[in-house]
A and B are shown apart, each in its own frame.
Chain A
Amino acid sequence: MNTRLTLTVEELNEYVRKSLAGDPMLRNLFLRGEISNFKRHVSGHLYFTLKDEKSAIQCAMFRTSAMGLAFRPENGMKVILRGSVGLYVKAGSYQFYAEGMEEEGLGEIHLRMEALKKKLQAEGLFDASLKKPLPLLPKGIGVATSKTGAVIHDITRVGWRRHPGIPFYLVPVKVQGEGAAQEIARAVKVLDKLDAVDVIIVARGGGSLEDLWPFNEEVLARAIFACHKPVVSAVGHETDFSISDFVADLRAPTPSAAAELVVPQRDALLYEIDKMQTRMRRACEMTLAEHTAALADLAARVARQTPEKQLGVIAERVQGLSQRITLLYRQAVREKARRLSELTLRITAASPRATLDRGYAIVRQGKRTVQSVKELKPDDQFTVLLGDGSVEARALRVHQEEA
């Protein structure tokens, strides 16, 4: 009689636990049902019952898994759990240990989004080679977003801060709910036709995945792709990605960031232009200085070879030739000198203001520019020209620096 195998309760539970754990069918499976008896333990673990019409099972989700949830589970919610079946040895009850949880509806949304993404990608709508570059200085920025709400303000505020003169063109649209995707798509087409606009932002503030859904719809993706002007997509927060982001020529993490990407810093551009003008001016000044030096050199060489120095032996013909050369040269010099002074005038006409703005001054007496202290004596009146005006002045004392 005693050959019968007698187990303790603990031994039995342990045995069942092991056999459950050893069954691959019961590991890493998906389970669909509705939450009831939901409890959040102080430890952070979640305990609840998952049920359908006919059946129920105890479920547990440990804190480490529960922390990663993007939503708050509650009674009545339809969810899909991922996890394994196990036995709670202490109570001898079997239960489901959930490691992941998704709201059922959202799970479908994810699946739909992935499917559309794959399809459009295969068609080439996301190709990097088809992305259009943004204009450096847009003449006008089209915006498709809601007329109410912070987004349009965020965009104009950031845009006007960077460039206080840039115009925006808003097509007010519904950004969530039924028909929103169609409205935004139409707005993109309208802005594509508007001549005053050469870059377009489609934008929406943060929201739930369902709120952002219009930006995952095919009709909008196709409108963005078909648009001839570059489109920047700015949907939700930094972490939200939508199909629009992938089709758009540029994705901005937020609406404000879109304005930063589209609107150039006006002051930086003005500085850039100014820098190039300075470079051009300097190039002119250098070349002029070289030419002046070359002329002086030439003049000195010719002076050494004047016919008077070639004592008497030169034939008349040679002398005549020399005179002609000299004459021609004088004409050339006169012409060059005339050009030089004319050019110098043109150059300096462009530059004294800039020089004065840097803190230099020009001293004039009547129409003459004073270039030496020798030209002034005490009590002389003169005019000091500065960048923003002039000063009438009188000389008190004159000091000359020793050379």
Chain B
Amino acid sequence: MSEKKPSFEEDLAKLESLAEQMEQGEMPLEKLMDAYEKGAKLAKSLEDRLKAAAARLHEVSQKKDGSITTEESDVARQESLLDNLEE
């Protein structure tokens, strides 16, 4: 296991506090630019994470030996949701 990646909300909070610190207006220019760069990187990674996931429904099953497998399921698809609606 590699070290734990910070959660989305942790990174979002970091970005927010960076913006706040920068707005105090007391940072030396160099620090400010570093903060800006760091913030821009954070924002990019947050946006990437929001856009990365793929809308899929997977079906999960557990084998007799305890191993867990997942496979894409056609029980519900984003495109054809309206057709699939029962009730």
Chain A interfacial positions (CB closer than 8 Å to B)? 135-137, 139-140, 142, 147, 149-150, 152-153, 156-157, 160, 163-172, 186, 190-191, 193-194, 196, 266, 269-270, 272-274, 276-277, 279-284, 286-288, 290-291, 339, 343, 346-347, 350
Given A276-B15, A277-B39, A339-B29, the answer on whether A150 and B85 have CB atoms closer than 8 Å is yes
Complex-state Cα separation, A268 to B19, whole angstroms: 18
Complex-state Cα separation, A168 to B75, whole angstroms: 11
* Count of CB-CB pairs between chains A and B under 8 Å: 145
CB-defined contacts of A152 to chain B, threshold 8 Å: 57, 75-76
CB atoms of B70 and A196 under 8 A apart: yes
B69 to chain A, nearest CB (A): 10
The 4 A-B residue pairs whose C-beta atoms are closest, nearest first, are A283-B22, A137-B8, A136-B9, A165-B53
Complex-state Cα separation, A269 to B40, whole angstroms: 16
- A-B CB contact pairs (8 Å), 11 listed: A135-B9, A137-B50, A160-B78, A165-B52, A166-B55, A167-B56, A194-B68, A269-B46, A276-B16, A280-B39, A283-B22
- Which of A147, A168, A270 has most B Cβ within 10 Å? A168
The interface size bin for chain B is 35 or more
- Which of B25, B53, B78, B84 has most A Cβ within 10 Å? B53
Interface residues of B in 5-61 (CB under 8 A from A): 7-9, 12, 15-16, 18-19, 22-23, 25, 27, 29, 32-33, 35-36, 39-40, 43, 46-47, 49-61
B18 to chain A, nearest CB (A): 7
Complex-state Cα separation, A290 to B35, whole angstroms: 18
B87 CB–A CB distance under 8 Å: yes
Complex-state Cα separation, A193 to B62, whole angstroms: 11
CB-defined contacts of B62 to chain A, threshold 8 Å: 186, 190
CB atoms of A346 and B54 under 8 A apart: no
CB atoms of B75 and A170 under 8 A apart: yes
CB-defined contacts of B84 to chain A, threshold 8 Å: 153
CB-defined contacts of B47 to chain A, threshold 8 Å: 270, 273
CB atoms of A284 and B33 under 8 A apart: yes
CB atoms of A280 and B18 under 8 A apart: yes
Complex-state Cα separation, A168 to B55, whole angstroms: 8
CB-defined contacts of A269 to chain B, threshold 8 Å: 12, 46, 50
Closest residue of B by beta carbon distance from A136: B9
A373 to chain B, nearest CB (A): 34
Partner of A172, one of B40, B55, B59, B85: B59
CB atoms of B29 and A343 under 8 A apart: yes
Closest residue of A by beta carbon distance from B27: A287
CB-defined contacts of A171 to chain B, threshold 8 Å: 59-61
CB-defined contacts of A291 to chain B, threshold 8 Å: 29
CB-defined contacts of A284 to chain B, threshold 8 Å: 22, 32-33, 36
Closest residue of A by beta carbon distance from B82: A157
CB atoms of B56 and A137 under 8 A apart: no
CB-defined contacts of A266 to chain B, threshold 8 Å: 50
CB-defined contacts of B51 to chain A, threshold 8 Å: 165
CB atoms of B25 and A167 under 8 A apart: no
Beyond contacts A166-B53, A169-B70, A276-B19: 15 other A-B pairs, Cβ-Cβ < 8 A, are: A153-B76, A153-B84, A160-B55, A164-B55, A169-B59, A170-B58, A171-B60, A194-B60, A273-B15, A277-B39, A284-B22, A287-B27, A288-B29, A343-B33, A350-B40
B42 to chain A, nearest CB (A): 9
A2 to chain B, nearest CB (A): 79
CB-defined contacts of A147 to chain B, threshold 8 Å: 59, 75
CB atoms of B12 and A136 under 8 A apart: yes
Partner of B60, one of A191, A270, A286, A347: A191
A138 to chain B, nearest CB (A): 9
Closest residue of B by beta carbon distance from A336: B29
CB atoms of A157 and B85 under 8 A apart: yes
Given A152-B76, A164-B55, A170-B58, the answer on whether A273 and B40 have CB atoms closer than 8 Å is no
Given A137-B50, A153-B76, A343-B33, the answer on whether A279 and B81 have CB atoms closer than 8 Å is no
B61 to chain A, nearest CB (A): 7
CB-defined contacts of B61 to chain A, threshold 8 Å: 171
B65 CB–A CB distance under 8 Å: no
CB atoms of A273 and B27 under 8 A apart: no
CB atoms of B57 and A168 under 8 A apart: yes
Given A136-B8, A147-B75, A169-B58, the answer on whether A273 and B43 have CB atoms closer than 8 Å is yes
